[in-house]
Amino acid sequence: MNNSASIFIADDNEINRFLLQSQLEEKYNNLTFAADGKIALNYLQQYKYDLILLDIHMPFYSGLELIKIIKEDSSINQSTPVIAITAQFYNDEQKTLIDDKFDECLIKPILLDQLDELFALWLPKSVAATAYPVLTETDYAPSLLQRTSGNKTLATTIFNKLFIELPEQSLLIEQALKANELILAKDITHKLHGSVSFCGFSDIQVLANDLESSLLKHETYLITTKFDLLKEKITYFALQKESIFLQLQSL
């Protein structure tokens, strides 16, 4: 079933538009494409979108010129997340684009995995599609109990540690990223990844693995997105503490 999110993409390269359309049309049925800045501006002044992707370099109006118009108080897309698309990326360019009010930056060639991650973060939760495994509070206890060979006392001890350590590690990663200490962030993420892998928490494990991979490769354009997804999942896990312990005792 296709997703109902309205997504607008402006790119003057016809091949890029074909590739993006082929990647997205099986999942999303409300896609709009523009071949230059003038066409893009016409659409963006008339229609409200859930997510906007803008090529930085286009005829008539560049992405940098369009973002200023989009973010005006009178714009109907003023609150819509906007992703920059660029073929070039320098060390300070991401900060410049964020300062110019872009929410994220994608580097060409754009991979489907990158789009899935960004859409999961920036599309409204009611329409966002996710490729990640989802666990509920009814899954965490059986998973850990299996890993501890049915030892409830040990499982309870581990859960108590996790409810303290995972939020703490999430905060430490966030602080390291803000300080641009990517090696420290990677080391903390690696430790977190190991813990949730042992416990069988596949939803947190996948997100931690994705973040660790991007930190290792210095994929600066993806790190913030991946961390936000991980942080959200850890927050969800921590909120299930009471339910998890109740279920653990009943198993």
Domain containing residue 227: CATH number: 1.20.120
What are the backbone angles phi and psi of residue 57, rounded to the nearest 5°? Answer: -110, 105
Taking 60 as the threshold, does the pLDDT of residue 163 lie above it? yes
The answer to whether residue 130 is domain-embedded is no
- Full-model pTM: 0.50
Which residues are registered as beta bridge partners of 83? 53, 104
Average confidence (pLDDT) over 159-169: 95
pLDDT value, residue 162: 94
Q: Which of 228, 217, 246, 234 is nearest to 122 (CA)?
A: 228
Taking 70 as the threshold, does the pLDDT of residue 4 lie above it? no
Buried b (16+ CB within 10 A) or exposed e, 36-47: ebebbbebbeee
Residue-wise pLDDT tens digits, 225-251? 889 989 999 999 999 999 999 999 898
The better pLDDT of the pair 133, 230 is held by: 230
Domain count of the fold of the chain = 2
Q: Which of 104-118, 147-161, 211-225 has the lowest mean pLDDT?
A: 104-118
The answer to whether residue 127 is domain-embedded is no
Helix (H) or strand (E) holding 202: helix 202-217
CB 50 within 8 A of CB 7: yes
The answer to whether residue 129 is domain-embedded is no
Is the domain of 153 the same as that of 200?
A: yes
Q: What is the DSSP string of 156-182?
A: HHHHHHHHHHHHHHHHHHHHHHHTT-H
Taking 90 as the threshold, does the pLDDT of residue 146 lie above it? no
Residue-wise pLDDT tens digits, 61-102? 988 899 999 988 888 888 888 998 887 655 455 556 656 678
Tokens 């991007």 belong to residue: 214
How large a percentage of the chain has pLDDT more than 70? 87
Contacts of 244 by beta carbon, 8 Å cutoff, 6+ apart: 137, 140, 141, 159
Is the domain of 167 the same as that of 100?
A: no
